[in-house]
Amino acid sequence: MNVAPRLTGLAGDKASPTLLELDRVSISYPTSDGILTAVEDVSFRISAGERLVLLGPSGCGKSTLLRAVGGFLKPSAGEVRMNGRRIGAPGPDRMTVFQEFDQLLPWRTVLGNVRYALERGRALSRRDAEQIARRWLERVGLKNFVDAFPHTLSGGMKQRVAIARAFALEPALLLMDEPFAALDALTRRQMQDELLRLCEETGNTALFVTHGIDEAIRVGTRILALTPHPGRLAATFDVPPETRARGTAGFGELERRIQETVFSAPEIGHV
Amino acid sequence: MSDIGAPKLVRAPALRRALAGTPWRRFIILAGFALVWELYARWLDNGLLLPTLGATLSALWSAILSGELPNRALTSLRVLITGYALGVVIAAVLTTFAALSRWGNEALGLLTSMFNPLPAIALLPIALLWFGVGTPSLIFVIVHSVLWPVALACYGGFLAVPPTLRMAGRNLGLSGGRFVAEILVPAAFPQILSGLRMGWAFAWRTLIAAELVFGVSARSGGIGWFIYTNRAQLETASVFAGLLTVILIGLLVEGVIFRTLTRITVQRWGQVQT
Ligand SMILES: Nc1ncnc2c1ncn2[C@@H]1O[C@H](COP(=O)(O)OP(=O)(O)OP(=O)(O)O)[C@@H](O)[C@H]1O
Ligand SMILES: [Mg+2]
């Protein structure tokens, strides 16, 4: 842990090339009462292979930051660069898994959703797209539901489809905005474990947003904590692999440290 | 990830399935209505004001057999479908522009608020002036009656598309016409469908009214003309037969075409409750 006056969240591992770089990014929303600064002066880098977690209380601008990286929002100051190039429009190289369940196209089946994304996002032929889509749906445990329409699925299953769709597109950077926040605690734990497995198997680089400390430790390799209103970097924590398993001494110790540093009142930000 | 098992389904009992549908209820309501009509007309005993259901049906039957009514209906339908299709296409183009640009957005908002409240029939004099008596005038007023409600419904539907779904579409790199056609249109389909339905009802109404107003070219007149001439000859049963035809065609389109469309699209996709 290092709490410095000007935090930059630089990657510890200098050997891997930088994939994404946020350079003093501020983001504000115009509202009827004036300009609301959601994120102020945030800088960090993500190296290839890393899983960076943005951790912070509700309303601190995590989703806002993720949307700027996705290209859905323009920063009011600073720059977001991917492979050294400034991010313009959204693109399939930054597939996003959103928190909301309505991110699937309701008029396509489970298979249709993933296949369509592959046809459009990776310009694959229908046959190739279908093959890859089936493989990924099988990997997330949905091979019995390929022909179901999204509205017949449970929330957890919908998120599995969204995860399969995102992984299938083989994005350079996977963006996830609290994909499990609306699930019950048991399902959430299971999904965290399964997501971790997929990430480790594919070696995907990811930017993950959450307000749960345990979730951050479970899925991340590095954690950036944000302050509330407006969001600024507060601290950064490296998560060693041996700490990642729930119930170990390291896990609890790190959880306690983050709790102390970031959240003054106990239990805030805890799911 | 571990496989999730397929859900087990049990078939509902046959009687429950048969009673679940709406047709039999509708049939009973319809039969009750027919009975009231017949009894009241007999009690009134004035065929000039209100013919009995029996007399109306026999007038309908003979008009069908003579080929006059089917011909008239076909003429009306041909004009109706032409005008309807044209109106829907123009509405689609307008709303696409509105969805893609600020200028288009403002233009559509202004145009619909100006023209939507204007009854199509009020444009008939202008239409007659511009296009003369005949089909083009009819098509003009039908296009007007379809265009604005459909455009309004489509656009309202586009605005109601959840932001997450929009972002999911743009995430795949979609933009422009493709984004509208492959994301916005299917996402807004419940509203678009009800707009199309409303447009169909407006068009039908406008057409019959227009035909009644300028019942002129007898050879090529539609159902409105059929109603008009029979009223002039005090053939009230035939007038009712004409009205019944208008209703039956309306029911057929609603009950077969729109219902099927709803069932295979928005109902299947879970966008409306069954
Ligand atoms: N479209 C918008 N217009 C105006 N203000 C917004 C908009 N979206 C977010 N905000 C504001 O920006 C701030 C950050 O919002 P954001 O959604 O990024 O928070 P978050 O950290 O993702 O919170 P949560 O954990 O609840 O999802 C909040 O104060 C919110 O009110
Ligand atoms: Mg959020």
The crossing angle, in degrees rounded to 10, of helices B135-159 and B189-213 is 160
Interchain pair B173, A145: CB under 8 A: no
Q: What is the pLDDT of residue A180?
A: 87
Rounded distance between C-alpha atoms, residue B274 and residue B272, angstroms = 6
The total domain count for chain A is 2
Among A115, A149, A170, the domain-final residue is A170
User: Which CATH number characterizes residue B257's domain?
Assistant: 1.10.3720.10
Tell me: pLDDT of B150 over 90.
yes
Best to test chain A binding among B172, B174, B268 (most A CBs inside 10 Å): B172
Greatest Cα pair distance, chain B, in angstroms, is: 78
**Same-domain pairing of A43 and A114:** no
The DSSP 8-state label assigned to residue A147 in this structure reads: T
Q: How confident is the model at residue B2 (pLDDT cuts 50, 70, 90)?
A: low
Rounded distance between C-alpha atoms, residue A181 and residue A97, angstroms = 12
**Residue B5, in any domain of the structure:** no
User: Which CATH number characterizes residue A224's domain?
Assistant: 3.40.50.300
DSSP A32-63: TTEEEEEEEEEEEEEETT-EEEEE--TTSSHH
What strand order describes the sheet that includes A18-31? A34-47, A18-31, A77-82, A85-86
**Same-domain pairing of A187 and A245:** yes
Q: Which residue of B has its CA nearest to A99?
A: B164
Tell me: pLDDT of A253 over 70.
yes
Among the ranges given (A12-21, A221-230, B139-148), the one the predictor scored with the smallest mean pLDDT: A12-21
Interchain pair A144, B170: CB under 8 A: no
Measuring CA to CA, which residue among B170, B77, B255, B43 is closest to residue A73?
B170
Query: Ligand 1 pocket: which of A36, A42, A175 to mutate (most atoms <8 Å of CB)?
Result: A36
**Same-domain pairing of A115 and A142:** yes
Q: What is the pLDDT of residue B194?
A: 92
Q: What is the mean pLDDT of chain B?
A: 88
Q: What is the pLDDT of residue A2?
A: 45
- Ion ligand 2 neighbours (CB, 5 A) are A 63
**Same-domain pairing of A91 and A193:** yes
Tell me if A32 CB under 6 Å of ligand 1: no
**Same-domain pairing of A152 and A268:** no
Question: Which of B41-55, B191-205, B207-221 has the highest mean predicted lDDT (pLDDT)?
Answer: B191-205
**Same-domain pairing of A122 and A206:** no
Count CA atoms closer than 13 A to B197's CA, side-chain side.
17
Rounded distance between C-alpha atoms, residue B34 and residue B28, angstroms = 10
Partner residue opposite B171 with nearest CB, options A90, A151, A197: A90
| Chain-centroid distance, C-alpha A164 | 14
**Residue B234, in any domain of the structure:** yes
Please tell me the distance in Å from B53's CA to the nearest CA on chain A: 45
Q: Please give the average per-residue pLDDT across B122-143, as a whole number.
A: 88
Partner residue opposite A144 with nearest CB, options B6, B165, B186: B6
**Residue B123, in any domain of the structure:** yes
Q: What is the pLDDT of residue A266?
A: 43
| Strand, helix or coil for residue A177 | strand
Contact A27, A54 (CB under 8 A): no
**Same-domain pairing of A177 and A270:** yes
Give chain A's end-to-end CA distance (angstroms, integer): 23
**Same-domain pairing of A179 and A248:** yes
**Tokens at A139, concatenated:** 């990997």
Among A119, A137, A170, the domain-final residue is A170
**Residue B27, in any domain of the structure:** no
For the stretch A118-138, pLDDT in tens is: 999 999 899 999 999 999 999
Interchain pair B269, A91: CB under 8 A: no
Tell me: pLDDT of A165 over 90.
yes
Q: How confident is the model at residue A263 (pLDDT cuts 50, 70, 90)?
A: low
**Same-domain pairing of A261 and A179:** yes
Measured between beta carbons, the chain A residues lying within 8 angstroms of B191 are none
**Residue B2, in any domain of the structure:** no
**Residue B274, in any domain of the structure:** no
| Strand, helix or coil for residue A196 | helix
Tell me if A96 CB under 6 Å of ligand 1: no
Domain that includes residue B106, residue range = 54-267
For the stretch A70-127, pLDDT in tens is: 999 999 988 999 988 888 899 999 999 998 888 999 999 999 999 999 999 999 899 9
Which residue is closest in CA terms to ligand 1's atom 30? A59
Q: What is the pLDDT of residue A56?
A: 86
**Residue B250, in any domain of the structure:** yes
Q: What is the pLDDT of residue A15?
A: 59
Rounded distance between C-alpha atoms, residue A154 and residue A191, angstroms = 13
Q: Which residue of B has its CA nearest to A164?
A: B1
Q: How confident is the model at residue A267 (pLDDT cuts 50, 70, 90)?
A: very low
Task: Give the residues across from B202 on adjacent strands.
Answer: none
Q: Which of B220 and A25 is assigned the larger pLDDT?
A: A25
Q: Which atom of ligand 1 is nearest to the CA of A226?
A: 21
> CA A31, A35, A36, A42: dihedral to nearest 10 degrees?
140
**Same-domain pairing of A246 and A187:** yes
For the stretch A189-238, pLDDT in tens is: 888 888 888 888 888 899 999 988 888 888 888 999 888 877 777 778 88
Q: Which atom of ligand 1 is nearest to the CA of A67?
A: 18
Q: What is the pLDDT of residue B85?
A: 96
Tell me: pLDDT of A13 over 60.
no
Task: Give the residues across from B127 on adjacent strands.
Answer: none
Q: What is the pLDDT of residue B216?
A: 56
**Same-domain pairing of A152 and A244:** no
Q: What is the mean pLDDT of chain A?
A: 85
Among A170, A200, A228, the domain-final residue is A170
**Same-domain pairing of A85 and A146:** no
Contacts of A211 (CB under 8 A, 6+ apart): A55, A56, A57, A58, A62, A178, A181, A269, A271
Tell me if A61 CB under 6 Å of ligand 1: yes
Q: How confident is the model at residue A271 (pLDDT cuts 50, 70, 90)?
A: very low
Q: What is the pLDDT of residue B98?
A: 92
Domain that includes residue A20, residue range = 1-95+171-271
Q: Is A97 left (phi over 0), alpha (psi -120 to 50) or beta?
A: beta
Q: What is the pLDDT of residue A269?
A: 44
**Residue B145, in any domain of the structure:** yes
**Tokens at A240, concatenated:** 């060693």
Tell me if A55 CB under 6 Å of ligand 1: no
Q: Please give the average per-residue pLDDT across B97-111, as a whole number.
A: 91
The total domain count for chain B is 1
Q: How confident is the model at residue A5 (pLDDT cuts 50, 70, 90)?
A: very low
Among the ranges given (A5-14, B20-29, B91-100, B226-235), the one the predictor scored with the smallest mean pLDDT: A5-14
Please tell me the distance in Å from A136's CA to the nearest CA on chain B: 10
